[in-house]
Amino acid sequence: MTHRIAIAGINHETNTFVSTPTDLSMFLDSGFTVGRAIVERYAGSETSIAGHLAGCEGDDVVGVPLLYAVASPGGIIADPADRYLSDQLLTALRNGGPFDAVLLTLHGAAVSKRAPDFDGDLLQSVRDVVGPDAIIGVTLDMHANLSASIVEPSDVITVYQTNPHIDAKDAARRCADLVLDTLRGRFEPVIAWTSVPIALHIAAQDTSREPMRSFLEHARRVSEQRGILSIDIVEGFPYADVPQMGMGVIAMADRDRSLAARAAHQVASHIWSRRGETSQVLSTPEQSLAEAAADPGTVMVLDVGDNIGGGGPGDSTALLHAARALGITSVFQTVCDPAAVTKLAECEPGRQATIMVGGRHPDSPAAPFEVRGTIRAASDGLFEDAGPTHDGDRYFDAGPSVLVEGDDGIDVLVATNRIANTTVAQMTALGVSPADYSVVIGKGVNGPRASFGPHVVRFIEADTPGPTAAGLDVLPYLRRQQRFPFEDWEWTPDPRLRVSQ
């Protein structure tokens, strides 16, 4: 028997504290792909959608790529983007069916003006289209905010278990394999899940360090019980002001509902017992830069408040101003500023230039920064990195980009498009490398670590202002529920079973 499986997804991490919405053009310009073009664009990557494609290569399965839409993390998804993307996916499902199963790549922290739980709303609509008998498998980002609306329509759920996310393809392949084994009658997955009421500090989310390393090791030990199919920990996305914001645990077992519930309880209880380790105190921008400059090797200073991977605008100049005030040289930073790129395009490499860059976005916390120096290089901003990168991305488009070598030892790469600093290829494409500098400023927190780790001696998180600020207490939450560290109380997990099974 041949199984037809639809492959689709809409992927967005929504920071509700960003003032500018994510509109349809942001999806259409950067990541709207349909049909076989999905294979051509993503099959050679380590992304989640690539894992779903790879999982449908067996003799008894036909994978049907329908639609995949992705936009960089940012503000609330606006209409008509919300309805257009949903309608396109659902129409493709109706027209292309019937399907025995659907594999969906979703983020789990998407928010639209219409649907505060966009992913859950979409999943329920997918269930309505494909009917009760089709198997729905979904792969979520580790920063998902888990909800009943996400779990109830889903038969199989897998989640990235690394941050930086270097296992996106593996997590999706796990999902595809479980879906196929379900279709073949080998498993009958049951799901138990629970929220863990912790707003996890961004600097505590690196899965190679404590406390996440121990949380995941504990989950792996629990998952070794016979009958457990998988246990995934969700870190949650604290920059989404929604009721479901927070950590979570998903346990899947083969037929045994009580086993799944016990496993979810064990892992959630362990996390809660160590909740005091989930908060961090970071260095000030000045402390971070001074410490980095004193190190004999290359240090990456992470601009936490302007984390592009969490929705930051990518044009904050706070650390550039601090570096200049401290007299620190041998500094490199990217700035997203399309207007400045247009002006710099008039200057050929080797020419002198003086220009104000950055600080233009309404959420940027510092004024534009004057760069005075020499145009070192320019490019179209297209580059590739086949090595480990956050989210498994391989092909990048920063748009027209110009590297200005500052007379004061502060070099700025000015880019047209807002892309996270998750690959050294953005530097090497313009003829420089981390080793050329004492300090490399990264617009991220955990995302840059996979690619930059081999090139720097260490990372320092700087407590900078912005819409992805480390101090969650400065964010104007209106809709969140009770969460540690805002509140502390006695809590016992009470895992819920997917009742539609």
Condensed to tens digits (0 to 9), the pLDDT of residues 328-361 reads: 999 999 999 999 999 998 888 999 999 999 999 9
> Could you tell me the residue ranges of all domains in the chain?
3-278+493-497, 285-469
Q: Which two tokens stand for residue 323?
A: 């570096």
Exposure b/e, 233-269, CB count within 10 A at least 16 = b:
bbbbbbbbbbebbbbbbbbbbbebeebbbbbbbbbbb
Q: What is the number of H-type helices and E-type strands within the chain? A: 14, 20
Distance CA 12, CA 106 (A): 8
- Beta-strand pair 101-106/410-415: unpaired
Decide if 460 contacts 290 (C-beta within 8 A): no
pLDDT higher than 70, residue 309 = yes
| First and final C-alpha spacing in the chain | 24
Q: Which pLDDT band, with edges at 50, 70 and 90, does 30 fall under?
A: confident
Compute the distance between CA of residue 324 and CA of residue 306 in angstroms, rounded to an integer.
19
Q: What is the mean pLDDT of the chain?
A: 96
* Whether pLDDT at 38 is above 70: yes
Residue type, 282: L
Percentage, residues of the chain above pLDDT 90: 95
Average pLDDT over residues 77-98: 96
DSSP 76: P
Read off the amino acid at residue 308: I
pLDDT of res. 348: 87
CA distance 15 to 475: 11
- Give the pLDDT confidence score for residue 271 in this predicted structure: 98
The confidence score (pLDDT) of residue 500 equals 61
**Three-state SS string across 383-416, please?**
EECCCCCHHHCCEEECCCEEEEEECCCEEEEEEC
Q: What is the pLDDT of residue 499?
A: 72
